[in-house]
Amino acid sequence: MKNFQINLRGKLIGLSKPLIMAILNVTPDSFYDGGAYFSDNEIKKRVEQIISEGADIIDIGAVSTKPFAAEVTVKEEIERLDKALKIVKSIKSDIYVSVDTFRSEVVKFAVENYDIDIVNDIFAATADEKMMEVIANKRLVYVMMHIKGTPQNMQINPQYDELIPEILKYFSERINKAVHYGINDIIIDPGFGFGKTVEHNYEILSKLEDFQMLERPILVGLSRKSMIYKYLGITPNESLNATSVLNTISLNKGANILRVHDVKEAVEAVKLVEMTKSFSY
C-alpha cells in the first residue's frame, strides 16, 4: 500500500498507519446519534471522550445526510457549527478538525473563524460549484465522497450498470477537476450507504483495493450503517461489533482513514491490524 501523506497546517502527516476520524453530529436527526450532542454540555462530554479515546480528527456535521433527511438553511448550519467549533477549540485547540458540509459559504465561515483543517463533502463539489475554489484558496484537505442522487432520494431504488467502474469514473473526473483548481490534498470516500443497496455496499467493500488505482488516500465510513443492521436484522445500537469487523476488513483492504462513532474500538482495530502487518514479508 502506498505511503500517502497529507498536509495539515504545513506539516506532512503520513498515513502508513491509518487515522481515526471521530464523528460529532450536532444535529437533532442523524440516523444513529441524532439529538445526543445538541446542548453545550453534551457536546463538551462527547469531545472529551473523543480526545481521551485517541481520535486523530474530529469531523463535525451540522446537517443530517441520512436518507430523507430534512433540509437545513445555511444560517442554521453555521449556528450549529459555531457552537460546536467553539467548544472543540476550547478543549483542545490543536486537534485536527474536519467540517462535514457541502456548502462553500459554511467552509468560509469555519476556516476564517476557527482555522479548520479538512472539508468532508458528500457531493464532491457537485452541489456547490464554488466549493473547490474555496478549498484551494484556503489550502484545506478535501474529502470527496461518491453519492448517487441526494439524501432525499438516494435510497429510492439506486441502480448501476457497472458499480465499481461507474464510481471510479466519477472519482477520476472529480479528482481531475480538483487538481485543476490547485487542490493538492484529496481523499476519496466510496460513500457507503449513499445511493447504494445493501448488496452494492458489500460489493464495494469486497473490491476496496480497486480504489487504490486512483492513487489517493481512502476514507471508509461504515460505522453502524444500515448495511450492517439491516443485513443482520439488528439495530444501530447493536451494531458495534459488526462495525469493528467491517472496519478491520477495510483496513486489510487499504483504508487509510476510518470515520467512526466509536473511537476506542476503532483505535484497537488499527493497532491489531498494524501488529499483524508488522510480520508481513
Question: Is 225 one of the catalytic residues?
Answer: yes
Q: How many CB atoms lie within 10 A of CB 252?
A: 13
Give dist(CA 229, CA 234) in Å, integer: 5
DSSP letter string, 8-34? ETTEEEE-SSPEEEEEEE--S--TTTT
Q: Which of 66, 103, 225, 253 is catalytic?
A: 225
CA distances from 106 to 71, 154, 235, 273 (A): 15, 23, 33, 36
Give dist(CA 202, CA 225) in Å, integer: 12
Residue type at 238 in one-letter notation: E
Give dist(CA 60, CA 246) in Å, integer: 23
Residues 6 or more apart whose Cβ sits within 8 Å of residue 20: 54, 55, 56, 57, 257, 258, 260, 263, 266, 267, 270
Residue type at 56 in one-letter notation: D
Q: Which of 259, 264, 271, 277 is catalytic?
A: 259
Give dist(CA 234, CA 230) in Å, integer: 7
Choose among 162, 110, 169: nearest CA to 134: 110
Query: What H or E segment, with its residue span, contains residue 88?
Result: helix 74-91
Q: Which cell numbers hold the place of 114?
A: 476557527
Annotated catalytic residues are 225, 259
